[in-house]
A and B are shown apart, each in its own frame.
Chain A
Amino acid sequence: QVRLQESGPGLVKPSETLSLTCSVSGGTISSYSWTWIRQPAGKGLEWIGRIFASGSIEYNPSLRARVSMSLDKTKIQFSLRLTSVTAADSAVYYCARDTPYLLWGQGTRVTVSS
């Protein structure tokens, strides 16, 4: 049974870089596309971007200037980096596999605060 698990610091200071990892267990990362989605507290879902097993990447244009993603096939995980964060980046961050999103991680809450 494939599972996704997000990890990373729960607190990030304004203007710093948010870094999260999604670990994939019970399966391979060499297929599918791998997505990051976030949800500010009490609000809706925002698609951040996805990385394909081939290495190609699509970012939401609204975040493209600050976001990057990578894939580590040896560690069977993929990562998200978001630079120059502000309070508006505080959210629960989810990783998910492919589209449609049948498989989600449990989410990790990130707060941007000094």
Chain B
Amino acid sequence: EIVMTQSPLSLPVTPGEPASISCRSSQSLLDSVDGNIYLDWYLQKPGQSPQLLIYALSYRASGVPDRFSGSGSGTDFTLKISRVEAEDVGVYYCMQRNEFPVTFGPGTRVDIK
């Protein structure tokens, strides 16, 4: 199975400042047939179910603020928050669905400094 890693695992942030989370996969997530990269980002706020932020590398899910953006290629991916807000705290997970079984990264805990 594809192993997903994330860094850092903990990220203290200052409101108004940018933040970045890295995710790496043990194999390329580039689909050779359609050229898409099936890498998604989820945020799990305290006490809640995970919520979809970014899908297929860089597409924001409906209702997700444009301060969130996803990028990357092959095996290295980044989630960026242009200006962190207090409501952005929680655990961020990257997830690959390019190959069966679907696998998640270990999560990055984001909290306010």
Contact = CB atoms under 8 A, between A and B. Distances in A.
A47 B103 contact: yes
A94 B49 CA distance: 8
A101 B93 contact: no
Nearest to B104: A45
B101 A58 contact: yes
Interface string B89-113: 0000101010011111111000000
For chain B, what secondary structure do more than half of its interface residues adopt (helix, strand, loop), or is it mixed?
loop
Contacts of A41: none
Given A99-B38, A100-B56, A102-B61, 14 more contacts: A35-B102, A44-B93, A44-B104, A44-B105, A44-B106, A45-B50, A45-B107, A46-B104, A60-B101, A61-B1, A94-B49, A100-B40, A100-B97, A106-B49
B102 A100 contact: no
B97 A104 contact: no
Contacts of A46: 104
A47 B97 CA distance: 10
Interface residues of A, number: 19
Q: Is the interface of A mostly helix, strand, loop or mixed?
A: loop
Contacts of A44: 93, 104-107
Interface of A: 35, 44-47, 49, 58, 60-62, 94, 99-102, 104-107
16 contacts: A44-B93, A44-B104, A44-B106, A45-B50, A45-B95, A47-B103, A58-B100, A58-B101, A61-B101, A94-B49, A94-B50, A101-B50, A101-B52, A102-B52, A102-B62, A105-B49
